[in-house]
Chain A
Amino acid sequence: MMEPATIAEASAAVRAVAERGDRLVICGAGTKVACGDRSISTRRLAQVIEYAPADMTITVEAGVTLAEIERITSADQLRLALDPPLYGGRATIGGVLASNDSGPLRMLHGGPRDLVVGMTIVMGDGIVVRSGGRVVKNVAGYGVHRLMVGSGGELGMIAAATLKLQPRPEAMRLIAIGMQDAAAAESLTARLMGGELRPAMIEWVWPGDRFGLSGLAVVLAFEDCREAVAWQLDELLGMDLKARVLDEGESVDGYAWIREWGASATVRAGMPSSAVWRVFRDADEKLALLSHAGSGCVLAKVNAPRESERVQSMVREWGGNVLVPREYSEMGHARLRSGLQSALRMEPV
């Protein structure tokens, strides 16, 4: 396995692979794509190129971990509002972008596509190219940095990226609500989506024991100034619900638990938010499910391959897409995708 430490080394390593006629396999920390002996890891591309808190941007090499970005930005009360699992601190920004991973904040702040404003890419022939830039608003040239989101290495190596940051909210609290069944959870979610409250995340957790609830739990987070968070919690407590507000410490821990849940999920899917309840309706004790329901992301942990198939077929039946496990056959646009691969000097997969 090659582990270049600079973008120039990465460029040379990729060129060497191309000259040998080998297939290029790129990995980050190996949390999603296993790093084998023929692969190039971005793990050591770990330089923070520019952190500009007053401009609310950060430019990092691909191997910088999300945990590191979190550490740097929190010193200025900023954050990258992109919260896929941290994989115990190992997940790299390059891996997150290439796998289009996201988390509970997806609903309000968008996914990787919405937060990446520029990128440095090593193409399949080793040549280094750029798109976008370091400012938050930029329409010059094609949004190749957006194209690379979800590309899973098939369009080249993400070597560095510039990301938009946001102020960290003044207050954050979770509230856990016990649900009779999936239909009741859908009715609450629908009410919240069209109501006066502004939950920052709407999480469905099955089973809900982590939050002291026996069946299905809906866990909401409110992030805002202190007054707005307090008001929203009061409003919710005024509804006829089995709800418990978590204190500050519990909220931080509960959010971290929800966020990390996906690290051990074997299925990740996207579907219409209004269809999530149909998957949960059929859940039984063989399955553990978690959904960032406001954005329609469904995660599942299963014990047997048969169970995985079952979740995947439910997702498809209700109009969703399975994102993990990754299936090239489901991506469509075969002609365009292979054209893009040759544009970026990659051998077709």
Chain B
Amino acid sequence: MTLIDELRGICGPEGVAADRGELATFESDAFTLVKARPDLVAFPRSTDEVSRVVRAAVRAGAAIVPRGAGTSLSGGAIAVDGGVCVCLSRMRRILKVDHRDRYAHVEAGVANLAVSNAVRDAGYQYAPDPSSQMVSTIGGNVATNAGGPHTLKMGVTVNHILGATVVLANGDITQMGGTYPDAPGSDLLGLVVGSEGTLGIVTEVIVRLVRIAPEVRTQLAVFETIDAAARTISAIIAAGILPAALEMMDALTVAAVEDWLHMGFPRDAGAVLIIELDGLAPGMDRQVARVGEICRANGCREVRIAATAAERAELWKARKKSFGAMGRYGMSMCTQDGVVPRTRVPEIMRFVAEVATRRGIRIANVIHAGDGNIHPLMLYDDRDARQVRAVVEASHDILRKCVELGGTISGEHGIGIEKVGAMEAMFDAESLAMMQRIRIAFDPGGTLNPRKLFATGGGCLELLKPPKGIPA
């Protein structure tokens, strides 16, 4: 029996995609610089089917690439070596919600926001909120240890995962963690979170639910310079205030948002901050006023407080649609994801500006400033090989600088294929070898998501090289 027949036998006739047209949808994810088509896409409906698909693929010697909604910004879901893409989009049931013990047990293909939507009326939420949350799946969020604008106070995905069902590379189904914290022994679940589909396929997840804050206050502060905005952030934190979110947008981003949404943002601002406080109502006015004072003491030109839920939604729309706003310039975009200690934000922003000049590309910046997580958004023409190369090189310049400043090469998007070449800037050879051995302990055959996370013969630049015989 051929692999395709076997997979159809497991997932049903409509549960396998095999023709060129169908497969084209799966040739990339949200990282658009590299394209590679899987040979087959399987859409299992249960953990058991995932297990059987994995066994069948292993027997056939095919690579396995797990995929959720395909929103990876680092190419984590691209089938670099072809093989079987295991797409969890049909596993989208919420299996159980337990308010008393504050958890939800969901299948991996459930969208992030769908979890919060299911528990909101009871006053709960699933806290991590990546900008892709309308579509990105819990399974994908677990794979990348996804973040979002509210991680400063609430933490990232791993802080909200209690348990997972994982299909290992040999097809075994295993349970890690459970409905309450602290399983005995070393924390295998903590290792699997953020492993980008290289240690197993996460098929079900038990997520922690948290109470929604009754009071939320969002304000916009306008600054002449990035330095002044960054100083303000440090001052807010030094005052003992831990905002729910502290987001920064630079001049180019603000202008793009304003051109598109006409929200009355000052077009000549050097940087704006979105500062959100949440918690109980008593004392909130005092905290909001204190933040306003700190902003003004650090040279803020103007503070606008969202007076209504609608105004608050507008401010967040500006932030979350900022990448979309850039799209209006009719160019391709590539976003980076470095992190520096939050006190080094001014330095890294100056460096990003230098890189833009040196490499001849436009870079706009959206920053999870409270965490020091920068997202330089590079605009380029994807038909121009020279520009494509400049973008990749600029990315590496910036990521290496992040490491030099005491930070890291990815805060939330993952390494995928995009940043494998930068891993050696972050870790020494012994540490990388140790991680590779961990991978082999889980997946001796190297079947799961090959060529992701660690360089095994060429990184992103390698993949960008045009096929032999075609002049660059």
Residues of chain A whose beta carbon lies under 8 Å from any beta carbon of chain B = 52-57, 76-77, 100, 102, 106, 110-111, 113-114, 123, 127-131, 133-144, 146-152, 154-155, 166-168, 170, 190, 193-194, 196, 198, 224-228, 230-232, 270-274, 295-297, 320-323, 326-328, 330-333, 336-337, 339-340, 342-344
From A149, A322, A330, A343, give the contact of B434 (CB < 8 A).
A343
Chain B min CB distance to A132 (Å)? 8
Contact B184 A129 (CB under 8 A): no
CA distance A135 to B441 in the complex (A): 28
B342 interface contact, C-beta 8 A: yes
With a CB–CB cut-off of 8 A, which chain A residues contact B195? 142-143
Chain B min CB distance to A236 (Å)? 13
With a CB–CB cut-off of 8 A, which chain B residues contact A150? 182-187
Contact B237 A113 (CB under 8 A): no
CA distance A91 to B211 in the complex (A): 32
With a CB–CB cut-off of 8 A, which chain B residues contact A143? 145, 158, 190-191, 193-195
CA distance A320 to B240 in the complex (A): 37
Contact A149 B190 (CB under 8 A): yes
From A54, A56, A127, A149, give the contact of B186 (CB < 8 A).
A149
B280 interface contact, C-beta 8 A: yes
From A131, A272, A340, give the contact of B101 (CB < 8 A).
A272
From A170, A193, A224, give the contact of B100 (CB < 8 A).
A193
Contact A141 B341 (CB under 8 A): no
* Chain B 27-39 interface 0/1 with A at a Cβ cutoff of 8 Å (1 = within): 0000000000000
- Given A130-B431, A196-B214, decide whether A142 and B410 contact each other with a Cβ distance below 8 A: no
B151 interface contact, C-beta 8 A: yes
With a CB–CB cut-off of 8 A, which chain B residues contact A139? 144-145, 147, 194, 408, 410-415
From A137, A194, A271, A344, give the contact of B371 (CB < 8 A).
A137
With a CB–CB cut-off of 8 A, which chain A residues contact B371? 135-137
Residues of chain B whose beta carbon lies under 8 Å from any beta carbon of chain A = 99-102, 122-123, 144-145, 147, 151, 155-156, 158-159, 168, 174, 176, 178-188, 190-191, 193-195, 199, 211, 214, 234, 237-238, 240-242, 279-283, 286-287, 339-343, 368, 371-373, 406-415, 419, 423, 426-428, 430-432, 434-435, 437-442, 453
Contact B191 A142 (CB under 8 A): yes
From A106, A131, A141, A144, give the contact of B415 (CB < 8 A).
A141
With a CB–CB cut-off of 8 A, which chain B residues contact A133? 406-408, 426
Chain A min CB distance to B81 (Å)? 21
| 14 contacting pairs across A/B (C-beta < 8 A) | A54-B234, A114-B159, A123-B434, A131-B435, A135-B406, A141-B427, A142-B194, A142-B435, A168-B240, A321-B178, A321-B183, A323-B182, A327-B184, A340-B441
Most chain A CB atoms below 10 A, which of B185, B279, B441 = B185
Contact A194 B123 (CB under 8 A): yes
Of all chain B residues, the one with the shortest Cβ separation from A344 is B434
Contact A140 B409 (CB under 8 A): yes
Contact B430 A129 (CB under 8 A): yes
Contact A140 B180 (CB under 8 A): no
With a CB–CB cut-off of 8 A, which chain A residues contact B368? 137
With a CB–CB cut-off of 8 A, which chain A residues contact B283? 224-228
Chain B min CB distance to A7 (Å)? 13
Contact A343 B187 (CB under 8 A): no
From A53, A190, A224, A326, give the contact of B280 (CB < 8 A).
A224
Contact A127 B183 (CB under 8 A): no
Chain B min CB distance to A283 (Å)? 20
Chain B min CB distance to A311 (Å)? 16
Chain B min CB distance to A329 (Å)? 10
Contact A225 B100 (CB under 8 A): no
Contact A337 B185 (CB under 8 A): yes
With a CB–CB cut-off of 8 A, which chain A residues contact B193? 143, 146
With a CB–CB cut-off of 8 A, which chain B residues contact A228? 279-283
Contact B191 A144 (CB under 8 A): yes
With a CB–CB cut-off of 8 A, which chain A residues contact B431? 129-131, 141
Of all chain A residues, the one with the shortest Cβ separation from B193 is A143
CA distance A57 to B339 in the complex (A): 14
CA distance A175 to B423 in the complex (A): 50
Chain A min CB distance to B174 (Å)? 7
Contact A326 B101 (CB under 8 A): no
CA distance A273 to B103 in the complex (A): 11
Chain A min CB distance to B118 (Å)? 16
CA distance A331 to B187 in the complex (A): 10
Contact A55 B342 (CB under 8 A): yes
- Given A144-B191, A147-B186, decide whether A273 and B180 contact each other with a Cβ distance below 8 A: yes
CA distance A76 to B409 in the complex (A): 29
Contact B237 A56 (CB under 8 A): yes
Of all chain B residues, the one with the shortest Cβ separation from A324 is B184
With a CB–CB cut-off of 8 A, which chain B residues contact A136? 151, 371-372
Contact A194 B100 (CB under 8 A): yes
Chain A min CB distance to B217 (Å)? 13
Contact A140 B188 (CB under 8 A): no
Of all chain B residues, the one with the shortest Cβ separation from A273 is B101
Chain B min CB distance to A219 (Å)? 20
Most chain A CB atoms below 10 A, which of B191, B340, B409 = B191
Of all chain B residues, the one with the shortest Cβ separation from A225 is B283
- Given A55-B341, A113-B158, decide whether A137 and B373 contact each other with a Cβ distance below 8 A: yes
